[in-house]
Structure 1
Amino acid sequence: MSRFFVALLPPQDIQDYANQIKQYFADRYTSRGALKSPPHMTLQPPFEWAYANLPLLEASLKEFASGQQPVAITLKGFDAFAPHVIYINVVKSQELLTLQADLMAYTESNLGVVDKVSKSRLFAPHITVAFRDLTKQNFKAAWPEFEKRQLHFEFTTDKLTLLLHDGRRWNIKSEFAFADYGSPRQNSLCS
């Protein structure tokens, strides 16, 4: 079994900015966990899936994505899941909340993928920059620095991204375009 998750990735310039912050946390606060994945907003949390059945998973996500419209995303400031995680705040829009709920329902009914934790709590879209490996002491040192720090980005996302864990980090496996915004771009990884 392989581990996958489905996310929205910001444009490359915003990924670069987020990666600089992740590296800052790694260097200054020894929190390196966030560097193990590209900057993203998780829609479908990590799940196990047989790699041999990857074509079914990809075909299903392609079908779901083809029925979606692009979604406007606003990133504003920083927030935290105290006392360990600091993240770039994603403003909750009805379109984003609907996309996430629809994807969760679709993967459950069509693929049997269920995340029990997500079913019991509200969706909190975010882009993690300091992961659970941030100690309480380092969180207390870092949070005042980021709590009031200004950040504002706006962009439109037009595709879902499937990420695959290689045993060390998360890598982009494939992307699925929304509506008629081009055909899906697939990045093949060596398996």
Structure 2
Amino acid sequence: MTKVMGKYFLAIVPDEPLKDAITDLKEQLRASFGIKYALKSPPHITLKMPFVHSENKEVELVKSLRKFFEQEKSFSLSLGRIGSFGNRVAFMKVKYPPELLFCQQRLIAFSKTVLKKSIELSDTNYHPHLTLAYRDVKKDQFEQVLEYLKGNSVKGSFNVHQVYLLKKVDGFWRIIEEIKLSS
């Protein structure tokens, strides 16, 4: 059996219609500014940064994650104001309860001890956000992009009852598994 490695990450994806509204906003950025990189994944809040894992062991990965998340309780999140990291990343700020931070910390420990995954700097310096534009934003257009987003921002709240395992397929991040939290 050939060992094929896949790239995965774990995220929270907003419910409909909020998910569609955010995707529409990303589409508007593509139409207005030529920014399209953020469209390579569904709107999401990352819980565990991308990691490499054997595709032959994907079923076991999902089973392990299900076991972990069945211990985690549902919580609520609110999205709204626009923020940025430097002059290359624009995002929606997330208002979140301490439960999200604690869940993410437990997930990172679980990832290291059980899944044997490395801990990234961004895993330990967790700043929940929903990225709208990055990587292909030109420095000279960044302020315009921010102003556009502030004038067209999407706001909303949703309850998190599940997280998603995403996998990179043909250059796009695809949801491959929904994993329920305990109620």
Distance in 1 separating the partners of 2:160 and 2:96: 14
Give the AA of the match of 1:178.
L
Equivalent runs, 1:83-94 vs 2, <5 Å: 83-94=87-98
Count of residue correspondences: 179
Partner of 2:101: 97
Partner of 1:188: none
Q: Per-residue deviation at 1:138?
A: 1.6
* 1:68-123 CA-partner distances (Å, limit 9, x unpaired): 11011111211111211111111142111111111111111100112322255x21
Partner of 1:107: 111
Question: Out of 107, 121, 124, which is 2:127 matched to?
Answer: 124
Q: Contact 2:82–2:92 at 8 Å: present in 1 too?
A: yes
Moved over 2 A (4+): 144-152
3-state SS of the aligned residue for 1:100? helix
* 1:28-87 CA-partner distances (Å, limit 9, x unpaired): 111100000000000000000010010111011000111111011111211111211111
Equivalent runs, 1:107-186 vs 2, <5 Å: 107-119=111-123, 122-147=125-150, 151-179=154-182, 181=183
Distance in 1 separating the partners of 2:89 and 2:98: 25
Equivalent runs, 1:9-88 vs 2, <5 Å: 9-88=13-92
Q: Per-residue deviation at 1:145?
A: 2.8
Q: Contact 1:77–1:149 at 8 Å: present in 2 too?
A: no
Unpaired segments of 5 or more residues in structure 1? Answer: 182-191
Q: Per-residue deviation at 1:27?
A: 1.1
Scaled by the length of structure 2, what TM-score is found?
0.92
Change (3 A) 1:119 1:126: closer
Q: Per-residue deviation at 1:160?
A: 1.4
RMSD between aligned residues: 1.5
Q: Contact 1:79–1:147 at 8 Å: present in 2 too?
A: no
Change (3 A) 1:52 1:165: same
Distance in 2 separating the partners of 1:19 and 1:119: 25
Give the AA of the match of 1:86.
A
Q: Contact 1:22–1:34 at 8 Å: present in 2 too?
A: yes
Q: Per-residue deviation at 1:148?
A: 6.3
Give the AA of the match of 2:171.
R
Q: Percent identity?
A: 26
Unpaired segments of 5 or more residues in structure 2? Answer: none
